[in-house]
Structure 1
Amino acid sequence: MMTRIKYRFLPFLLVIILFVSTLTAPVSYSVQEPIMPDSEEARKILEDSLSIVEIDHEIERITARQQELEVTQRQLRERITVLEERIDERRDRADAVLRAYYMGERDHLLVMLLSAQSLSGFFRILDFYDMIIQNDQQVLQSYNQQYRELQASRASAERNAAELAQVKDSLLQQRERVLALQQQVDGALNTSGNPEAMRALIHEFTLYWENVGLYEVKRHFQALASAMENLPGFIQGSKNILSTNGKVYTINIHEDDLNGFLRSEDKLFETFAFRFEDGKVIASGESGNLSLLIEGRYSVVDEPQNAIMFEVERLVFNRLELPDTTRRSLQDEFDMNFYPKQLISFLKATEVSSSDQRLIVRMELDL
């Protein structure tokens, strides 16, 4: 009996084992990495072709944003039309109320109140007078509210129209960039020794980037963004990183300390390290056949909130530099900024610099 039960549950146990093994198995890719050509000319062609792919994606994002803005603009215009119709009605009633007060048409009610012959008559007139005054206030308040809503909707429509114009201009610029790059790539292919082989290589690199490269780049950015959330706790728990003279607080962190912290956060950073030099922040590493370099700088921003913002100035994957559209897209998707108020609530950053293997952030009281 026990043997029969064991065999009955054996298929179920095998499914569980297979499921767990898929979770713990290393990530594998169905697309193999193409061999990078040694020629600088070929590398430039591949870089331009990859830029075309990425800018095409940016065009798709801009187009989607344009469609969203156009829908919003249409909704705002419809709302403004409805509000204008309503406010015309409210304006006539509000004008009548104000005219009644200005022309003294409400004075006779006060005279009637004062000339009441009895106490009960006085209170009846008082109730009537109070009802008229409340109705007048409601008319004026309703008009004022409708007017504010109309003004707010018009302001929203203006902002939306301005953003829509910027988006359309950006879309035109990106399309011109793609056209210019495509002409440049086509010209280089026509003068190359083996155009067909080069086209095949471009196709292979495009597949590799879209199926492997972009995933790996995003994996590194996600790891950096997650680590930055825990950086304030690391600074507070470390000796000699945070100091103060009473008015100014200073974070002085060596690149070795930062890299040690990152490795404690994610094993991905065992092959990926930061360097601070000449005002720049450089993060680079290699894993197998994959290489990634992120170069940028920190700066202080106050909007929408005080922060040390990391701006990516160069992004290189497997020796191919990615376009600015990719850098901006990744910065928008992953927050790699440092927020002083997460460290101490009453501080704001005023200055940041990076040199001699150190990142230095100066902060002041924000009371």
Structure 2
Amino acid sequence: MNVRVKYPLLPFLLCMILYFSFMTVPTAVYSQQDLSPMAPDSEEARKLLEDSLSIVEIDYEIERITKRMKELELLQSELEVRIQEMGLRIEDRRNRAGAVLRSYYMGERSQLFYMLLSAKNLAGFFRIMDFYDIIIQNDRDTLAAYNNQYRSLASAKADAARNADQLIEVKDRLVKQRERVLALEQQVDGALNASSNPEAMKKLIEEFTLYWENVGLYEVKRHFQALANAMENLPQFVQGSKNILKTNGKVYTIDIHEDELNTFLRNEDEVFNSFAFHFENGKVIASGESGNLSLLIEGKYTVINDPENAIMFQVDKLVFNRLELPDTTRTALQEEFDMSFYPKQLVSFLKATEVSSENQRLVVQMELDL
């Protein structure tokens, strides 16, 4: 459970206790000034802590996958029941629609037309015409009702097929993540057994895990939420700024320097006062430190068109207090927080076609989408 304060009391007290308890542990120490465990001073200890945090995060991913799998199984059951019920209802409609089509095929409806021609006077003609309209409209309603139910049934079957495929993928992902956790657990156990002080290292791992769950995860999510909120206001910033949005009549270009973006972000949220973006070699690197916390997000912007045209930020690397977090954490954060830029929020008739991040500049090319 995340504690929504910046420096929770529990991790602080534990850090103080562990400082005096683990002064003899060579792989990592605690400072009296710090509210968080310091990064280990050896590659071996750092890798051990990364693996331990990965186990925690992948366990959370397993919980999310298990929950999603149960939702998909429930949905599949509901769809199957719905398909059965619709199948029973549509049978009667099918029979009625068949009777209508047979009547046209056999020429029964043409007899009504001949009745119109045989009317002896104008009043009789209009009475037959009204009767003819009623029958024709009823035929149309019968065929339309069958067509609608048939389409609904076909749609439900397609939903069930897609859901079944997704369920298979989710189950496969669950198996792979369980295997991954088991391998990491064996790896961590081996490293602990090889340690000169296994018990102290176990307690150190527990402290890092506790700090991550009570402080780290909250801080990471706070930064991602701030980024997501800022991206919603980026179109307005681009429109109100000079020389950022340019056009030659057909091609529109957003050309923004990292200093301009960082100024915008700092005006959006104070969290960015110690957090900055950098654009180099096709990468987008956002990093910063605040007190005892450090965070690095490395990724890239890519153009996507599904479900809608956007510049999506893809996180390739996520490092908290110099410990790299697993891909499951990156994926979960990307799913929870939308950090994409939508050109149509800037100008409704534009779509993004290309994006690059070089020489401290982010450049987005857009074309008319008419």
Band the TM-score falls in, shorter-chain normalisation: 0.7 to 0.9
SS in 2 for 1:364: strand
The reply on whether 1:172 has 2:175 as its aligned counterpart is yes
- Cα 1:279–1:107, aligned 2, differ >3 Å: closer, same or farther? closer
1:27-46 superposed Cα distances (whole Å, 9 cap, x missing partner): 43121323432121111111
1:351 to 350, 354, 361: 354
2:51 to 34, 45, 48: 48
Residue in 2 aligned with 1:219?
222
- Cα 1:82–1:243, aligned 2, differ >3 Å: closer, same or farther? same
Q: CA deviation at 1:227?
A: 1.4
2:272 to 262, 269, 274: 269
Q: Which amino acid aligns with 2:142?
A: V
Percent pairwise identity? 71
SS in 2 for 1:65: helix
Q: CA deviation at 1:249?
A: 2.1
Q: CA deviation at 1:110?
A: 4.2
1:282 to 273, 282, 285: 285
The two structures have a TM-score, normalised by structure 1, of 0.88
SS in 1 for 2:139: helix
- Cα 1:93–1:365, aligned 2, differ >3 Å: closer, same or farther? closer
- Cα 1:233–1:98, aligned 2, differ >3 Å: closer, same or farther? closer
1:114-137 superposed Cα distances (whole Å, 9 cap, x missing partner): 445566555554444443333322
Give the number of the structure whose alpha-carbon radius of gyration is greater. Answer: 1
RMSD value, Cα:
1.9
Q: CA deviation at 1:106?
A: 3.5
The 2-side partners of 1:345 and 1:117 are apart by 63
Q: Which amino acid aligns with 2:49?
A: L
Q: Which amino acid aligns with 1:70?
A: E
1:282-331 superposed Cα distances (whole Å, 9 cap, x missing partner): 11111111110000111111222221111110000011100111101111
1:197-249 superposed Cα distances (whole Å, 9 cap, x missing partner): 11111111111111100000011111111111222222222233222222222
- Cα 1:183–1:88, aligned 2, differ >3 Å: closer, same or farther? same
The reply on whether 1:158 has 2:165 as its aligned counterpart is no
The 2-side partners of 1:247 and 1:283 are apart by 32
The 2-side partners of 1:282 and 1:221 are apart by 14
The 2-side partners of 1:300 and 1:95 are apart by 50
- Cα 1:345–1:196, aligned 2, differ >3 Å: closer, same or farther? same
The 2-side partners of 1:361 and 1:84 are apart by 50
2:8 to 29, 37, 52: 29
Could you tell me whether the CA contact under 8 Å between 2:7 and 2:215 is conserved in 1?
no
Q: Which range moves more in the overlay, 27-36 or 200-209?
A: 27-36
The 2-side partners of 1:80 and 1:348 are apart by 39
- Cα 1:95–1:52, aligned 2, differ >3 Å: closer, same or farther? same
The 1-side partners of 2:202 and 2:267 are apart by 43
1:250 to 230, 253, 260: 253
Residue in 2 aligned with 1:76?
79
- Cα 1:126–1:228, aligned 2, differ >3 Å: closer, same or farther? closer
Residue in 2 aligned with 1:259?
262
1:65-93 superposed Cα distances (whole Å, 9 cap, x missing partner): 11111111111111111111112111122
The 2-side partners of 1:92 and 1:220 are apart by 61
- Cα 1:311–1:131, aligned 2, differ >3 Å: closer, same or farther? same
The reply on whether 1:101 has 2:104 as its aligned counterpart is yes
The reply on whether 1:292 has 2:279 as its aligned counterpart is no
- Cα 1:110–1:283, aligned 2, differ >3 Å: closer, same or farther? closer
1:200 to 199, 203, 208: 203
SS in 1 for 2:108: coil
The 2-side partners of 1:358 and 1:139 are apart by 62
The two structures have a TM-score, normalised by structure 2, of 0.87
The reply on whether 1:301 has 2:280 as its aligned counterpart is no
Q: Which amino acid aligns with 1:28?
A: Y
- Cα 1:125–1:243, aligned 2, differ >3 Å: closer, same or farther? closer
The 2-side partners of 1:200 and 1:64 are apart by 31
* Ranges in structure 1 where 5+ consecutive residues have no aligned partner: 1-25
